[in-house]
Chain A
Amino acid sequence: MAEQQPSTFIERLCSRDDSAFDELVDRYAGRCYGYFYRLCGNGEQSEEFVSELFVKLVEKIDTFDGGSFDNWLFTVASNLFRDHLRRKYRYKRLLDEVADQERKRQEEAVVDPRQEAVSDRLQWALEKLDKETAELIMLRYYSKVSFRELAQMRNEPIGTLLSKVHRGLKRLRVLMEDVSYE
């Protein structure tokens, strides 16, 4: 995980150095994959999201105006996922539809050994949450940003975000302590 942002790496990205883009994948693909996987619950689709995200980064790297690269990258990732949801479904219906489809797919599909490890209780509980709250919790978790930064990224009041994250985490814990999960 990239704990620091060496300016040379960012500069190499901005100057479109080939090796810098390979390094970008090495540094961030895992985290981004985890973020997308926790939201969609599908390895193949998550890989597609990560590919699309890096393509967008190549396109938009010129718009990066300094600051935290992680924040910028996860803002793009969050927008990508939300755009995907908007494109695919009507905003009102998408939450239930996505959850239902994923549940059915998981029930019917043969379990991929690669995915077996992550077909865990957390994944199950996240699917019970509404997509917006789940996305917010995962965005905060994987991007490792503070609430202040999260508020800037989402362009929402910090109090509202605190409340949403608090409620979501509480609900997750209740769900995972629920005996109905098997």
Chain B
Amino acid sequence: MSKKIENLDELIRRFVDDAEAETMAREIRRGDAMLDTFDSPEMCPEAADRIRRRLRQYRLRRHRRRQAIGWAGLAAAGAAAMVLLFVGLGQRPQKPVESLPLVQEVQPPPVEQPEMRPVDLHELPGVTLNLWEDVPYVEDQDFTAIKTELDDIATWIKRLGIMDNTLPDKPVINGETASQEDFKIDLTEFWKG
């Protein structure tokens, strides 16, 4: 077996002294020569054929696998394109949506204000300036009669002295004082006027 030519002595001298380099180089050459005396193991022709066959099968499988991957990739790309197409058709073109602020102040919708002008209060419906105008009319005569009657009662009570606690009690008849007895009589005859 031929070797590539290299200057072995010079190479070895880079690492060891001259004498040792010479010895090393000589021993390496002897070793190489010894290896050359032996025949190299040779592969039988059948083995070479088997290797060729195996290599072809491997390359064929590899080719098919790559082809299958290619088809699968193509199919996947087609499916993805279809999906994109459907999604694209299903969506109307929209305006770009502006991003909203995180905190948005809620404001009522603007209300159109009526034109402001001075209004006469009498023009407004249901507005009454004088509350007493709604009170039903009371005849002065009736009021006078009631007032007179009440005054009479007050005078009568005053004359009887019922409410005067300073008067001494009359002798008790059947458990009642004389004053209480008189008041009782007056009440029973009150209707007579």
Interface residues of A (CB under 8 A from B): 1, 3, 16, 18, 21-22, 25-26, 29-31, 33-34, 37-38, 43, 46-47, 50-51, 54-55, 58, 114-115, 117-118, 120-122, 137, 141-142, 144-149, 158-159, 162-163, 165-166, 168-170, 172-173, 176
Shortest Cβ distance from A169 into B: residue: B31
- Nearest chain-A residue to B57 (Cβ)? A55
Determine if A158 and B11 form an interchain contact, defined as CB atoms under 8 angstroms apart. Answer: yes
State which of B3, B15, B30, B40 has its C-beta within 8 Å of the C-beta of A159: B15
User: Which of B1, B12, B15, B55 interacts with A141 by CB under 8 Å?
Assistant: B1
In whole angstroms, what is the CA distance A139 to B62 when docked?
30
Asked whether any CB of chain A lies closer than 8 Å to the CB of B54, the reply is: yes
Contacts between chains A and B (CB distance < 8 A), count: 120
| A and B contact pairs by CB, cutoff 8 A, 29 listed | A25-B51, A25-B52, A25-B55, A31-B40, A33-B47, A34-B40, A47-B47, A50-B51, A51-B55, A55-B58, A58-B62, A117-B41, A117-B42, A120-B39, A121-B38, A122-B34, A141-B1, A141-B32, A144-B1, A144-B2, A146-B6, A147-B6, A148-B11, A159-B15, A163-B15, A166-B27, A169-B27, A169-B32, A173-B27
- A-side binding surface: helix, strand, loop or mixed? helix
Is chain B's interface secondary structure helix, strand, loop, or mixed overall? helix
CB distance from B42 to the nearest CB of A (A): 6
Given known A33-B41, A118-B39, contact A47–B50 (CB-CB < 8 A): yes
| Contacts A148-B6, A158-B11, A162-B24 given; does A172 touch B48 at CB 8 Å | no
CB distance from A170 to the nearest CB of B (A): 5
